[in-house]
Chains A and B, each alone.
Chain A
Amino acid sequence: MISNQPGVGPEPSDGPGTPSSSLIAYPMEIFQTPLIDISQPLSGMELIPARIGHIPILIVQLAGEWAIESVVGVQTSPVHVRAGSDAAHSNFLSSTTTPSNADVNGAVVPSLTSLNTTGPGPVTFFPNTPVYFDITVPAAGTGGFSCLARLIIAVNWVTTDGALI
């Protein structure tokens, strides 16, 4: 009964014939962008890869962080970001405006600050499709402002198909 074969796919917990859950093939994963200048627009960076038959779910308890690595000048308005596998890139992360001015201007680099989002409410997901990340409104500032940061998010994988019992 004690089954533990991570990586071989969804697996019956208690053997065939018993209504039971399956261990998801993919573990919790953490994805991290390259270093991004958030004072510049960005469209369509692949944030999470597609996995056949699965969709990624943002882990609320690890809802995402920015790693701020460099700040020049003073930020006066924050970046707007979003992410998703839908056409609008909005079904994974709702539009959010972190890191805030206080986060950026108070950062002692390198340092972490919360992404401060829990993801959108019920929205249609698209299996087999990557999640793309956009900066829709770049951060702005004074004094030759630029801010280099990385976005880090943690996901669970769940399946959208399988047997109906």
Chain B
Amino acid sequence: MPGQMRQSIWQGYGPQPLQGQANAALCARSNAYPIETYQTPRLNLSKTYFGIELVPARPGYVAAPRSRFWVVSSVSGVQTTPPNTQAGSDAAHLNFMISGTVGLSNAQVNAGVAPPFVAGANTANSGAALFPNTPVYLDVTVAGQGTGGYILVASLAVTVEWIALELGQ
């Protein structure tokens, strides 16, 4: 019976029909990958970085950005210019997280909150072309600047939802 056939269990081998091959065209499928969180090493954001692999590639899948956080682990001195960051799997590294300084503004960094603290990061990009089978890379395009021996150390944590783009019909 269809109700019983719906009791298929995710096996971990990839997108799987809910009701068997005969009804594949009419069934949604369980994706192979769970929601995952990736976090960079701690970055000295008073420096620039290019091409840090933020999210790995998975064949046939794209990583849709969900939550994005800076985990600030230390602040020294006073920040006068915030670091600018962006991330993507496209050539410009922009189609995952748009360019900006969200979460690391001067006001937030200099607020005197003792690390570690967490702040939301840049807005997720939507509507941009996606590239399956391609890692998402993070760039720090503008280094943070400051006075008094300024150093800002933080890591970026992103949660991704994997979406298959090569399922066929």
Contacts and interface: CB of A to CB of B under 8 A. Distances in A.
Asked whether A and B interact, the reply is yes
Interface majority SS (helix, strand, loop, mixed), chain A:
loop
Interface stretch (A37-45, A75-83, A98-106, A157-165): A157-165
Contacts of A3: 56
Contacts, number: 133
A159 B71 contact: yes
Interface stretch (A14-22, A109-117, A132-140): A14-22
Interface residues of B, number: 46
Given A2-B58, A6-B34, A24 B115 contact: no
B67 A61 contact: yes
Nearest to B37: A24
Contacts of A88: none
Interface of B: 33-44, 49, 51-59, 66-67, 69, 71-73, 108, 111, 113-120, 135, 138, 153, 155-159
Interface stretch (A66-74, A122-130, A141-149): A122-130
A87 interface: no
Interface residues of A, number: 38
A161 B158 CA distance: 16
